[in-house]
Amino acid sequence: MADLPVSTAGLRKVYGGSTALEGLDLEVRPGEVVGLLGANGAGKTTTVKILLGLVAATAGEASLFGRGVGDPEARRQVGYLPEHFRFPDWLTGAELLDYHGRLAGMPAAERRGRIPEVLERVGLAGRGNQRLRSYSKGMTQRVGLAQAVFAHPRLVLLDEPTSALDPIGRREVRDLIRDLREDGVAVLLNSHLLGEVELVCDRVAIVDRGRVVRAGRLDTMVGAGTQIRVRLDRVDERALALLGGFGEVVAVDDTTVVLTAEGSDPAAEVAAELVRAGYGLQALIPVHRSLEDIFVGLVSGSAG
């Protein structure tokens, strides 16, 4: 427990009068890719900044590899790509990487060898001697990623890493994240792009107004709680009570009931029960919920 790459408990942050985090609990285990999913302003960036000691939590606890986030040593094995990555633009790409390697305590010889390796990995091979001010937006994002993975981190924090990239760039970032996972590196990925998270994350924590409203493995979260849409000749109290026995009724009108059913596939049972009770069953459609449905269902009401 103590040495988890990321561990927070009851993290709370109040900026002036407004609450950014309201008791956030989060864990990231080694070799795990966790997506922190939420609308803009949900508290994702604040969470990452607290983990890096850039922002002080109002209350609660946070640690990296078992060290409190107030200790600079906690960041020894961490790579970070800020949402808006900025850098001294008079440096070249290679100089930037060398500088970050030095800050991370890498010896000079190791840095020299690592620079071309990492530049190649992020698709910037041969661009290392170009000044950063001449880089395009996409190249900037790539060199930011290179900087984050440069010093062999065991935890990488990525804040909206694909926001400036085209579809090919996004795919490359996903590949990079998968490579990191294979090497046993933990990744915390902040994103509001659901598809992005769905494609690459092992676990997802959905954040809304400063708390985790749902967290779990992506496969169980998306698979569990299958929705069934039932159309009947009539909908009355008895039908609702009957359907209520299978799960939670989430929507009702004159002829249609939508319920979230537990279990793997209750559709057949639901159909049999309804017919036995004398209802005219017109349609029964299992609806596989996507992450987006879950997300929208949980985060409803908060403006983007």
Partner 1 sequence: MSALPITRLSVKEAVSRRLLLAGVLLSLAFLVLFALGFNALYSRASEAGQGETALAGGIMTILGLYIVQFLIAFLALFLATGAVSSEVDSGTLHAILARPLSRRSWLGQRWLAFAGTIAVYAVLMAGILLMIARVIAGYGAVAPLRAISLLVLEGLVLLSLGFLGSTLWSTLANGAVAFSLFGMAWLAGIIEFAGEMVGNDLMRNIGIAVSLLVPSDALWRGAAYYLQSPAFLAVSAVDDAGGAGPFGGSAPPSAALIGWSIAYVVLLLAVAARRFAHRDL
Q: Is 146 in the site for partner 1 (CB under 8 A)?
A: no
Q: Which helix (H) or strand (E) holds 296?
A: helix 291-298
- Pick the closest to residue 142 from 184, 186, 179, 172 (CA basis): 172
The residue range among 79-87, 134-142, 186-194, 254-262 that interacts with partner 1, by the rule CB under 8 A, is 79-87
Q: Cβ distance 125 to 146 under 8 Å?
A: no
> Is residue 275 at the binding interface for partner 1, with CB under 8 A as the rule?
no
Transcribe 183-228 into DSSP letters: TT-EEEEEES-HHHHHHH-SEEEEEETTEEEEEEEHHHHHHSSEEE
Least distance to partner 1, CB of residue 82, Å: 5
Q: What are phi and psi of 132, to 5 degrees?
A: -65, -25
Q: Is 142 in the site for partner 1 (CB under 8 A)?
A: no
| Candidates 84-92, 173-181, 222-230, 278-286; binding stretch for partner 1 (CB under 8 A) | 84-92
Q: CA–CA separation, 8 vs 10, rounded Å?
A: 7
Kindly state whether residue 59 participates in binding partner 1, applying the rule CB under 8 A: no
Among 44, 75, 127, 170, binds partner 1 (CB under 8 A): 75
Binder of partner 1 out of 1, 2, 72, 126 (CB under 8 A): 72
- Name the amino acid, one letter, at 129: N
Q: At its nearest, how many Å lie between partner 1 and the CB of residue 250?
A: 40
Q: Does residue number 87 form part of the binding site for partner 1 (CB under 8 A)? A: yes
Q: How far apart are CA 15 and CA 48, in angstroms?
A: 15
Interface mask toward partner 1 for 94-133; x: CB under 8 A: -----xx-xxxx-xx-------------------------
DSSP 8-class letter at 254? S
Instruction: Using CB under 8 A, list all residues that contact partner 1.
Output: 15, 49, 52-56, 72-76, 78, 80-82, 84-88, 90, 99-100, 102-105, 107-108, 144, 147, 157
